[in-house]
A and B are shown apart, each in its own frame.
Chain A
Amino acid sequence: MTRREFFKFVLKTASAVAVGAYFITEKVSPRKFIRAVRQKKYPGSVKQLPNVYTQGKWRG
């Protein structure tokens, strides 16, 4: 192995490890389920409660 090939090998290996470590560390937080915090303000528009007696038009 020439010195150039050796440096290429080291560079490739280091890059692969760095990319792998980045993805792994990005995916580990939080490690378990935590409930989301309730956001008090609705981002869309808020209307009055309609007549709930009408059967839902949606399926299910």
Chain B
Amino acid sequence: MAWNTYKVARVVDKLSTEYFAVRSGCAVMDLTPMEKYRITGKGAREYLDRLVTRDISKLRPGRVTYIVWCNDEGKVIDDGTLFQFGEYDYRLCSQHHQFDWLLMSAAGFDVQVEVETHDVAALAVQGPTSYSVLTAAGINGLDQLKPFAIADLRCGDIPITVSRTGYTGDLGYELWAQPADALPLWDAVFGVQGQYDIHPMGLDALEMVRVEAGFVMPGFDFNTAESTVRNGYDRSPYEVGLGWVVSLDKGHFTGRKALLAENSKPARRRLTKIVVDGNKPAGGALIFDRKNGKRIGEIKCAIWSPILKANLALADIDYADGRLPSRLWARIDYQRELKWLSAWAECRVQSKPFYNPEHRSATPPARY
């Protein structure tokens, strides 16, 4: 499928192989299509502070943070990661194209914003053995690299930047290199394939692991603000469970006034992590307050989690009086021998990520 003018595979080889590579071995994915923006200049910090909802005052050179940005109405435009390289030097990565928004936001700041999507190749190396794989591939210096940290390292002759970041909820790294070095880098990583179980991964496996990790995907789980046509179809950070990255007391940022107003009122809805009973594929199922009751939401994405043996989903749920309804029932429409049937499944709400293994954040990571 297409991703920012690149072609990306949903499945490279076999979905189960790729999924288990992330969860119990090592999976590699080409992240080059990810939009990358270089943000530099004396006013870069001030600019970013006004751009994003999060308090980034603790961000330092050599660190990465997760960010969300909103329009004036406090609706989510996209999320992404913000890398700080130097005092006035940042990289912002996002799934969707954001250049126009970033440029528009730059008025009045001493800042330069440049697209470097095609100038930086990126490789995600994820899974419990990713540390051992990369070390075996000749990258030294990963042992003390903490989650959300960045280091300039080498893979043999190839200069690379490594960040301990990812979208899988597992131990993992992202390697950033010159496009010309991308293939040799790939070959270097896969050079230890005999020693370790390494597989290229497609988007379907990524979808499974990101749901397990409880990560939202703007544009899929909810409409992004600047692509929404109908009134009320866009979502605020609170509504998609990203209230934790909103700092209303950090000073001015775009959307603050709207979010202050929203925050002072009872919650209207939330994107909620639920475990759906049974094993019927629940994608797109409607949520009711009881069997054949009132419709109160819908499932935005759902997967069967092989590692948890559970039916996991993110569902957009209408709140009543500012509270999550106490009971949720999914009506799952499914086919059996081409015949459509409906089944009711009760849903249990989960507040923490579905899957968050300890080995994900250990420093140094376990060796295999």
Q: Do A and B come together as binding partners?
A: no
